[in-house]
Amino acid sequence: MTSEQFHSLLGELARVCGHADPEAFLVHRQLCIEGRQVVLEHNPRHGEDLLQVRMTVGDLPAGAAHLAGAMLDANFMGRGSCVLSLHPDADVVVATTLLRLSSTPTAQDLWQELQQMARACEAFWDSIATANA
């Protein structure tokens, strides 16, 4: 996917998801899905057909340093498919993954995949928080 194709896909995605400010979305590539902040980045160094997705997972509760161990376990067990980290400016857990795009991605397909990722992040975070409460 070229930069132009990525820009075009983002324009379509802004329309499909009803983004309030499509121009800002094209510049910052940030949107909110089911209450989660999502940043999309296409970098040919990762691969022409890969899209990096960073999505907030949840807030790290005060006094919950023990969850850091669970996050590291999840990173190790996931073997790099999705990496959990803490946002540098806040105690917010962020999942970062590379999403492989089809040769002709549609905005509707991407939107549905991002929504599925948001639901999976919610279920995952709930399971970690519950297991480590």
When pLDDT is averaged across residues 20-42 and rounded to a whole number, the result is 84
The CA-to-CA distance between both ends of the chain, in Å, stands at 43
- Mean pLDDT across the chain: 81
| Structure tokens belonging to residue 111 | 């939107």
CATH 3.20.20.370 fits 3-131, yes or no: no
Do 58 and 125 touch, CB atoms closer than 8 A?
yes
Amino acid at 28: H
Measured CA angle at 43 (ends 76, 19), to 5 deg: 95
Most confident range, picked from 50-54, 77-81, 91-95 = 50-54
* pLDDT given for residue 23 in this prediction: 80
Category of 108 on φ-ψ map: left (φ > 0), alpha (ψ -120 to 50) or beta: alpha
| Structure tokens belonging to residue 126 | 């709930």
Q: Using only the alpha carbons of the chain, give its radius of gyration.
A: 15
